[in-house]
Structure 1
Amino acid sequence: MFSSNINHYNFLAQFKDGQFGSVYKANFRNSNRNVVIEKILLDQKMEKFDFICKQVLNIRQFKHRNINTIIHCFIHKEYAYLIFPYMCFGNCQILLQNVFTTGFPETLIALIVKDILSALIYIHSHNFVHGAIRAKIILLNSLKASISNFGDYQTFINHGRKSRFLYGSTKGRKQQLNWTAPEVLHQSLCGYSEKIDIYSLGITCCEMANGFQPFKGTELTYMYIEKIRGNLHFLMDKNSIMEEQGSTLFHCHNRKISRDLLVKKTFSDDFYQFVELCLTKSPVSRWTASKLVTHSFLKQCRNTSISENLKDISCDFATSKINKDKSVRTNDVTTNRSCDDIEWSF
């Protein structure tokens, strides 16, 4: 059990200063347990406050091992404090930027994907769609992978009735478009289903395997056309590099990855097939999360674990930074930025 007394928490470091609040690493003194605290100013514009309340209410109803849910919340003065479990390796995006700069090993990807599929099965069975699967929202510790950030979630339940399809606009979601399914980009009257999470998972697999964001540096129009045509964002290894590319350089986090480096990478046929099943253009033909979890690609998880794959990585590998979107007051909190600082996504 956690306390609602702010004095029972020792704030260690500030991870993020965002548009809705600030995120801190803290230690709960009563049990000496590290947690993550999101501090939200209650004096927000009504539309922002309604969005925050709606998100908190929905996150708290999720009870699953692979969902980074709120474990406690309380109000102190003009702030709300949301307590989350501490995931020592942060998110997959920061691991790609600092450790696995040319991509995760295939076995680690399989372990992560297995946990994410377990979370998606749970979410979809409760008539929700996450809507924003990507490396940045996948958090890791030595035991598991968890998904966070339900800012783009949708539900099939409307006024007590379940709809067959969902509808929504891509307005204000520019940062998510590279992972977005073609049926969402198409904006047709046919709508879309929970299969959009599967497509995003396929793009995320490419992101984790290649070491850089999909369609990074390309025009949005080109990305849209490629997806509507059903052209897959291929995994990049020695089998996927065409001869005519020669010494073509691939853009990766503002750096260049040469063909010589890519030819050293080899992914299994099972991984290729798994990604293709996720990225099938037709949502009807796209596999569900419950079916994908039976795929042979995940068999390699049996004799290993996330801790085994990350055993040589220190939890303090990230540099001390604070990501600032919009300034939010952070009164009443003293931070020590000399401790480990890992990027979070809330």
Structure 2
Amino acid sequence: MSLLDCFCTSRTQVESLRPEKQSETSIHQYLVDEPTLSWSPPSTRASEVVCSTNVSHYELQVEIGRGFDNLTSVHLARHTPTGTLVTIKITNLENCNEERLKALQKAVILSHFFRHPNVTTYWTVFTVGSWLWVISPFMAYSIKASHILISGDGLVTLSGLSHLHSLVKHGQRHTAVYDFPQFSTSVQPWLSPELLRQDLHGYNVKSDIYSVGITACELASGQVPFQDMHRTQMLLQKLKGPPYSPLDISIFPQSESRMKNSRSGVDSGIGESVLVSSGTHTVNSDRLHTPSSKTFSPAFFSLVQLCLQQDPEKRPSASSLLSHVFFKQPYFEFL
């Protein structure tokens, strides 16, 4: 049974929805069989959702976003037998090249191995014809900085597993990765200098720490850093330029451009909300500030500067970062 034809996180196996007759050269040649990996669903009601691969059991309510270079539509939906709200990502596999298919496959495989409350899991994955359906817990899609999502219960989770790379190969743990995927230009603002440099030094988990620093700037300002910069200028700034901070006006888009980008979907979306009943966007004007109109605490500056060090060896580890004074101070003093 193909991993992308049916994957349930419960221990109940479900019949594949793949049509019986498939050409050996079809899109499914990349979706190879994998051993079944499973764990218990989070709750009794959720278990009914987890194992449901019947399309008629899902009522699509509104499209709340797009992703995977606009190849995937993200929908708020309801699992009608239980009334549970879920998020459904729908991708037409016929529109995906070999590289995209492998990325989708990797995301599904890796979702087996992340059993953490703050990592978004896939409840069910199956195909209907050439369409891939991925069922996940419903998260408030508008509260985001790229792949940071929050559930109705306030649980913050990280999504976006398609670009993950393992440091373990052939049973051995390596100190660096030398596989440089062809990232979309839209994600370059979050990428570390060493990842963009693509030299013989490779990159490791410290690249994620750099991305944390960029995301912190994005969350604090409500704007994507470097969004208005020409790509060449942004690369020079990242690779050779001086360190920057959340208050560096030059790396943030101007207000007029930012509002335009916000409506086109490339902005961070901070300050927006999605009305689920109608699918319309509203803007909270109290959140739309330019970096120059904000002040940040010394602890926040320190956190960002540590994350954005040019030399990855000077960046803290994730565990040591959690001991930073920024995370130890009272919540009302965060920024």
Q: Same fold (TM over 0.5)?
A: yes
Q: Following the alignment from structure 2 to structure 1, what is the Cα–Cα distance between the partners of residues 290 and 107?
A: 43
Q: How does 1:151-300 map to 2 (within 5 A)?
A: 151-169=162-180, 171-229=182-240, 231-236=242-247, 251-252=254-255, 254-255=257-258, 264-300=293-329
Letter in 1 for 2:73: S
Q: Does 1:66 align with 2:118?
A: yes
The alignment's TM-score, normalised by the length of structure 1, stands at: 0.64
The Cα of 1:75 is off from its aligned counterpart by 3.6
> Which string of whole-angstrom CA distances, capped at 9 and with x for unpartnered residues, describes residues 24-74 of structure 1?
211112221100112233545544333322221112321111111101223
Q: Following the alignment from structure 1 to structure 2, what is the Cα–Cα distance between the partners of residues 201 and 279?
A: 9
Change (3 A) 1:163 1:266: same
Cα pair 1:88 1:140 within 8 Å, conserved: yes
Cα pair 1:170 1:185 within 8 Å, conserved: no
Cα pair 2:78 2:84 within 8 Å, conserved: yes
Q: Following the alignment from structure 2 to structure 1, what is the Cα–Cα distance between the partners of residues 333 and 85?
A: 26
- Which residue does 2:53 correspond to in 1? 4
> Which string of whole-angstrom CA distances, capped at 9 and with x for unpartnered residues, describes residues 296-324 of structure 1?
1113466899xxxxxxxxxxxxxxxxxxx
Q: Secondary structure of 1:139's match?
A: strand
1:136 maps to which of 142, 146, 151: 146
Q: Following the alignment from structure 1 to structure 2, what is the Cα–Cα distance between the partners of residues 270 and 45?
A: 45
Q: Secondary structure of 2:146's match?
A: helix
Question: Where in structure 1 are there 5+ consecutive unaligned residues?
Answer: 93-134, 306-346
Cα pair 1:203 1:233 within 8 Å, conserved: no
Q: Following the alignment from structure 2 to structure 1, what is the Cα–Cα distance between the partners of residues 332 and 227?
A: 34
Q: Following the alignment from structure 1 to structure 2, what is the Cα–Cα distance between the partners of residues 253 and 138?
A: 25
Q: How many residues align?
A: 251
Cα pair 1:73 1:81 within 8 Å, conserved: yes
The Cα of 1:262 is off from its aligned counterpart by 5.3
1:28 maps to which of 70, 74, 79: 79
Q: Following the alignment from structure 2 to structure 1, what is the Cα–Cα distance between the partners of residues 141 and 105?
A: 28
Structure with larger RCO (C-alpha < 8 A, sep 6+): 1
CA-atom RMSD in angstroms: 3.0
The Cα of 1:283 is off from its aligned counterpart by 1.0
> Which string of whole-angstrom CA distances, capped at 9 and with x for unpartnered residues, describes residues 188-246 of structure 1?
2111110001001101111121221111222223222222335222122xxx78xxx9x
The alignment's TM-score, normalised by the length of structure 2, stands at: 0.66
